[in-house]
Structure formats: C-alpha cells, structure tokens
Amino acid sequence: MDTAELEAKVIEFIASKVDNVDASTITTASKFDELGLDSMDTIQLLFDAEDTFGVTFDGEEVKTLRSVGDIIDYISKHPPEGKA
C-alpha cells in the first residue's frame, strides 16, 4: 500500500473511532488531543489500529505517538508480516 492510500485509510479509521470528528477535518498534523482524545482514548485507538492494520505498537515507541502522521509513519516503517 502506498503512502497516500495508507494515509487515507488511517484517517478514515480514526474518523470512525472518534465521535463528532469528520474525516475531512483530519490531517496528518492532527494531534490526538486536538481530536478530543485523552490518554485512555488514545491507547484504545492504538489497540484498535493494531487489529485493523495488523501491526504491533512497541511499548516504548507508543509514548512518542502524538498525531495522525505518527501512526502513519509507524505503520509505514513496521508493515504487517508478509506485507513489507
């Protein structure tokens, strides 16, 4: 999957998980707190993203994920097994 396709899928995924946020308002620069997510919401979002995108977020690296672009970059650098 190319970067533009991954970006669109991640944005659509996040829009489906966050109440009262339209996908058209989400960009790669959108921070989780700007989308109304607190730390617990963010953790749940990342768990759901693991299932949806077939990745496993490393415990230490999760602490650095703050924006939509961070998730996209992480998935790009850690593709699901067999999909590199």
Tens digit of each residue's pLDDT (9 = 90 or more) over 24-73? 999 999 999 999 999 999 999 999 999 999 999 988 888 899 999 999 99
| Residue 82: pLDDT over 70 | no
CATH 1.10.167.10 is the classification of domain 3-77:
no
Give the chain as a 3 state SS string: CCHHHHHHHHHHHHHHHCCCCCHHHCCCCCECHHHCCCHHHHHHHHHHHHHHHCCCCCHHHHCCCCEHHHHHHHHHHCCCCCCC
For residues 3-11, average pLDDT: 95
Q: Which residues contact 35 (CB under 8 A, 6 or more apart)?
A: 14, 18, 21, 26
| Residue 4: pLDDT over 60 | yes
Length of the chain, please? 84
